[in-house]
Each structure stands twice: as C-alpha cells, then as structure tokens.
Amino acid sequence: MEPTGTQDSTLHISTTPTTTGMFESKMPSAVAFLVAILLFLLPFAEVRCNGTALANNTGVGIATGSDWKELVTKNMFGDSGDTETRDKGEYTTSHDPNAFAIAALALGVIGLIVALFSVARKSNINFYIGLLAAASLVAMLIDLRSKAKSDRPLNSSDLDVSGAMKITVDGTASYYIAVILFIVAGILTLLRSKPKTR
C-alpha cells in the first residue's frame, strides 16, 4: 500500500501547468496603443464636396489647429485652374485646436505608458483608457462635421465651390483604424487582467 500512495502524490505534482498565454503579456496592448498614436501622423479627416476630397488634415494637425492641406486636382487638360493662386494648396485661415483630438492623443500616450510600465496584471484601467480614446475620436469627427456647416474655415466659399454643393467631413482609413486599435488595446488589457483558470 505504501508504494501506491507515493506514486499518486508524484503524479499530482507533475501535472501542474506552467505555460502562459499570449494575452497575459503586456506587449499586445502596448503595440496597439503605439500604432494608434503613430496613425495620428497620417491624414485623419477629409473635406469632401459631393464625395470628392478637397482637403485633408492629419490627426496631429487637427489636434494642434494646423491648416488643412488642399488636395489639388488637375482637369482633363492638365491645368490645375484657380487652385494655383492659393498658397501651395494650404488654407491661410487659422483653425482652433480640436479638444477631442487632443484628448484622444493624450489618452493614447497615457495608455501606452500604463501598458509598458504597469506591473499589476489585475488592473484594467487601460480598458477604460482605450474606450475613452476611441470615443474621443468619434466625438472629434462629429465636431468637425458640425463645423463644416457653420464655421467659415470649412465653408464652401473658402473652397471656391458653389454654395449649392454639399460640403462634408469624413474620416480616412487611418482614422478608423486608430479607433479600432484603441478599442482592441482596451480589450487586450481586459483579457490580461482576467484571473487564470486551472
């Protein structure tokens, strides 16, 4: 009977799991935040007239209030027309910094720092940071669309187009990818903070 008891206890110790999953690492969340922040350097929004892009601005440019860059398009004869008389495709009017873009960028930086230096796996603060950053970007686009109808910097008169044409502001692919990455970063943090099941 004694040998049987010794064998059972030995088998019980050897079956203890030692592997860790991918989501238990802090790197996936940190990478998602980092890529989302880098996307702010790319065009984030476009001013469109009846579906045609007339100007765009980067995420950093929207946050800092930089001028919108005009997308100069040539006609069928290779002539750019009246657009050549403007300041190399840039608007000369000043724009106020967008508070929502600033908030999204700041939250992204905070989320990256927390993801890199946080040692507490049970903390899910980055889940809320990621969701708030994504919500801020959504609010930014809504704010830009409302200004396209009321603010002079985005009025049709500044774009030399007929007032009857529809002027809208749409997000670019970089914008939508950044929104998704912020949400993914938050979800990855939530998965990492879940207790392990044995």
What is the predicted pLDDT for the residue at 191?
A: 82
And the tokens for 76? 């069928």
pLDDT per position in the chain (198 positions), as tens? Answer: 555 554 544 444 444 444 445 556 678 889 999 999 999 999 999 988 877 888 999 999 999 999 898 886 544 344 444 543 343 344 434 578 999 999 999 999 999 999 888 755 556 888 999 999 999 999 999 999 888 776 544 444 544 444 556 788 999 999 999 999 999 999 988 887 665 554
- Give the C-alpha separation, 56 to 43, whole Å: 6
Domain ranges of the chain: 23-72+84-193
23-72+84-193 placed in CATH 2.60.40: no
- Give the C-alpha separation, 178 to 129, whole Å: 14
